[in-house]
Amino acid sequence: MSSVSPTEIKREFMKSKTGLIGVLILLSLVILSVVAITTIPIDTFKQWNNPGNWISYPKTAAPAWINYFVMEKIPEHLILDNPTVVTKDDVISLTSHQFDVQYHYDDFPSDFIYEINVEYSGSQLLQISLIRPNNSQILLVSKSLPQSDSKITHHERIFSTDSNIKKNIQIHFSEMGFYNQNTTSENMIFANNYGDVLKGNYLFLVNIYGVNENVNVIDSKLILGGKAYGMMGTDELRRDLAVGLLWGTPLALFIGIAVAVGSVTVGLIYGVYAGFKGKKTDEAMMRFNDVIYALPALPFLIILAVTISNSIFLLVGFLMIFSWVGIAKVSRSMALQIKTRQYVEASQMMGQKNSKIVFKHIIPQLLPYAFASIAISVPAAITTEAGLSFLGLGDPTFPTWGQILHDANIYGAAARGIWWWIVPPGMMIAITGLAFVFIGNALDAIVNPKLKK
Amino acid sequence: MFGVLMITLLLTIALVGSNMDIILKQGIVYQVRAEITENPAIAESFSTVEEFDKFIQDQTDQRIETLGLDEPWYSPQRVGFTMYKILILDFGNATFLTSDSGSSNVGDILLEKIPRTVLLFTTATIIISIIGIFLGALAGSKVGSAIDRITSAFAVISSSFPVWWIGMLMIFLFAFTYHIFPARATPSMLPTEPGYILALLYHMTLPLITIVMIGFGTWAYLVRNFMVGTMQEDFIIAKKSIGIDKKKIIYKHALKNAAPPIITILALSLSGSLGGAIITEAVFDWPGMGRLYFEAISVMDLPIIIGATYVLTVLFLISIFVADLLYGYFDPRVKTE
């Protein structure tokens, strides 16, 4: 094996188109990981499997950008938590939160929820009314908050299915003369006289009236349920897939690179040492290598994940156990060749320590090969982990792309046509793999010039 | 080789043994309790609670002893006994799973699943290797041509896609969007009905296409690389200069010379295919070895796990051996060593 100098590798690598594409993809993945780690705190991400965390998100909503491609605009899921606040202090104080909604979709919203967290004392009246694009005003809810002499915090969710809302709507529309008994409240208030969607500007007014101005609204949120949300949509459990996909990137890179670096390092040292020592040591070490080689890897990985632990860090270790074997074999045969070179023999005769010869004289010769192997073995590690996760053996505290696909499979995403739950995670796995394959192949072609012809 | 087999088995037993014991012991406790609830007379015949508890304890201990569970799983007797039983191909009975016909004998279950896996995965492997060899030979003989580039690019791209994900996409596209193929790979009729074979073939089309699609690129790429090596050898150049037909050179002389490594890979991937891809079978719901393995592991059915591991490892070792023999036959140079 001919040694190639680092500068030569760099020069050759710059010439390889696929290699550069690979580096480019990898760079963007790294940027994505940095974005994920900085913008989405890990605590949020650890709530991935906690349904309570996702309650204000829509169920199986398509990505929002899909509206650019379809004629009938799908209603977007709107979470409005930034109302215009108007306060009036008089004999009767008034705190008014106004939510302005530009509704220009071709379908009705699936529901609406108003969520309030308020601190007050005394008795307060909560009133929600709606001004529609045709300037008619409907009173939706009028209810008093629980009476309290001392200061308390009150949390309440008012759903569109509330019977009071239904009653108020019935009164309003019966007066107008076109009340339809069989539709839901949201379909009624977002409809015109013919039952079609009335597009335009809706204004939700949330008014809190009190005799004394002891009202402090901590949190006020209007959720207009829709069927499209965010960059990547949501899944059956209302989880924002963009969060999962973003956080999957650093995890996949970590798993892939940790396994590849670990197994190549172990394999390299093991193989070189066996080849360098030769004789009985070599024989024994290679037999052990054969045993690991003959073990069925995936079944054993499954057994290990089931019986020992499915922690992501242990999983990295398990994957290493099965992936250093091939590298050990190749580096042993390379070490056998290098061993016979004169400078190695010379340093041996000079009485240099074995470990020093291995690390100073043989391993540096194999480094180009090692880097190529690292790049080539990353995709296998990522896909194997994804496969294990897909079988439901992943680490639930660190959901990966494989686990998203696992959930998709369980909830029958393919059968229900929820493509945004299946395609992006797999694409990410494939793209990440591809980046490393490109880099690896480009390096490999430089290290093994025979392949180039 | 035998040693490798034994070590594999020992490792399997070591990994699942302790969990298995716990599950079995719990099973016995449940069994004893169930018997007492079924027969209230037993409970009534005791005057104190202590006596009653002691009776339950005695019963449980007694049964544990009869099954030999009082010794830990790693005791030489139990491990030795298990190994001996496996060596004479007596895998015993499965703890939870049964074959479709209802038998819980591990041998029966394996015999039922292996043909199905062979049908799907071995067929796929054969198709893959045939396409791969011809495409690879073609690409390798015309280095740098369009076909060579497409093959190489396809190989690189397809190798980084997980087969099971492509499977999901295929199901999504062809089973649910266009309704061409069924989504589940198992036919709904009984094996005795007349149209069964046709139905089975129809059901296995989608998984077969998926596996072949993802698999042949890598094969073609490997064969191409061997071919590139051989095409540079002197005897090929000599034959070219004599003016022998190019097709003849490629398929008769060059391919024959590249055969030894190809055959080794073929033997290994054929035996590898017998394990079925656990995940692929899960996606397509194909009732073969892979799914059996996964089910056995998820319920900790030790006899099946051991039996399946044993069979797979034996087949793998046999194929390594056969590949070695064939290598020597095709490339006599290695024999003289």
Q: Chains A, B: CB contacts under 8 A, how many?
A: 128
The answer to whether B15 contacts A430, with C-beta atoms less than 8 Å apart, is no
Please report the pLDDT score of residue B20 as a whole number. 66
From chain B, pick out residues whose CB is under 8 angstroms from the CB of A451: 225, 228
Of A194-198, A224-228, B13-17, B232-236, the poorest mean pLDDT is in: B13-17
How close is the nearest chain A Cα to the Cα of B9, in Å? Answer: 9
pLDDT tens for each residue of B93-115: 776 777 767 777 888 888 888 88
From chain A, pick out residues whose CB is under 8 angstroms from the CB of B73: none
Nearest partner of A447 among A329, A334, A332, judged by Cα? A334
How close is the nearest chain A Cα to the Cα of B329, in Å? Answer: 23
From chain B, pick out residues whose CB is under 8 angstroms from the CB of A383: 160, 162
Angle CA(B280)–CA(B177)–CA(B209) in degrees, nearest 5? 35
The answer to whether B275 contacts A299, with C-beta atoms less than 8 Å apart, is yes
Picking from B13, B168, B264, B310 by the largest number of A CB atoms within 10 A of its own CB, the best residue to mutate is: B168
From chain A, pick out residues whose CB is under 8 angstroms from the CB of B8: 291, 294-296
Please report the pLDDT score of residue A424 as a whole number. 92
Report the chain A residue with the minimal C-alpha distance to residue B296: A303
Element (H, E) at A242: helix A241-277
From chain A, pick out residues whose CB is under 8 angstroms from the CB of B19: 307
> How far is residue B24's CA from residue B28's CA, in Å, rounded to a whole number?
6
pTM, 2 dp: 0.81
> How far is residue A222's CA from residue A116's CA, in Å, rounded to a whole number?
9
Closest by Cβ to A390, choosing from B143, B279, B300: B279
Model confidence at B52: pLDDT above 80? no
| Interface check B251 vs A, CB under 8 A | no
Give every strand in the sheet of A111-122, ordered side by side: A78-80, A216-225, A111-122, A148-159
Query: Do residues A140 and A126 lie in contact, with contact meaning Cβ atoms separated by under 8 Å?
Result: no
Burial bucket for residue B268 (CB in 10 Å: 0-12, 13-18, 19+): middle
Report the chain A residue with the minimal C-alpha distance to residue B177: A417
ipTM for the predicted complex: 0.79
Model confidence at B16: pLDDT above 70? no
One digit per residue, pLDDT tens: chain A, 453 residues? Answer: 455 677 777 787 778 888 888 899 999 999 999 988 888 877 777 788 888 888 888 888 888 888 888 877 888 888 888 888 888 777 778 888 888 888 888 888 888 888 888 888 888 888 888 888 888 888 888 888 888 888 888 888 888 888 888 888 888 888 877 777 777 888 888 888 777 888 888 888 888 888 766 778 888 888 888 888 888 888 888 888 888 888 889 999 999 999 999 999 999 999 988 888 878 888 888 888 887 877 777 878 887 887 777 888 998 999 998 888 888 888 888 888 888 888 888 888 888 888 888 888 888 888 888 888 888 889 889 988 898 898 888 888 888 899 999 999 888 888 888 888 999 999 999 999 999 988 888 888 787 755 544
Higher-scoring residue by pLDDT: B184, A438: A438
> How far is residue A387's CA from residue A394's CA, in Å, rounded to a whole number?
9
Bridge pairing between strands A216-225 and A200-210: unpaired
> How far is residue A70's CA from residue B68's CA, in Å, rounded to a whole number?
68
The pLDDT mean for chain B works out to 78
| Interface check B249 vs A, CB under 8 A | no
| Interface check B56 vs A, CB under 8 A | no
Please report the pLDDT score of residue A452 as a whole number. 46
Alpha helices in A391-418 (DSSP H): 401-410
Please report the pLDDT score of residue B2 as a whole number. 67
| Interface check B178 vs A, CB under 8 A | no
The answer to whether B157 contacts A434, with C-beta atoms less than 8 Å apart, is yes
The answer to whether B282 contacts A391, with C-beta atoms less than 8 Å apart, is yes
The answer to whether A417 contacts B176, with C-beta atoms less than 8 Å apart, is yes
Q: What is the rounded average pLDDT of the residues B209-225?
A: 86
Picking from A288, A293, A298 by the largest number of B CB atoms within 10 A of its own CB, the best residue to mutate is: A298
The answer to whether A299 contacts B308, with C-beta atoms less than 8 Å apart, is yes
The answer to whether B313 contacts A437, with C-beta atoms less than 8 Å apart, is no
Burial bucket for residue A340 (CB in 10 Å: 0-12, 13-18, 19+): exposed
Closest by Cβ to B19, choosing from A296, A307, A434: A307
Please report the pLDDT score of residue A195 as a whole number. 75
The answer to whether B229 contacts A450, with C-beta atoms less than 8 Å apart, is yes
> How far is residue A205's CA from residue A208's CA, in Å, rounded to a whole number?
10
From chain A, pick out residues whose CB is under 8 angstroms from the CB of B305: 299, 303
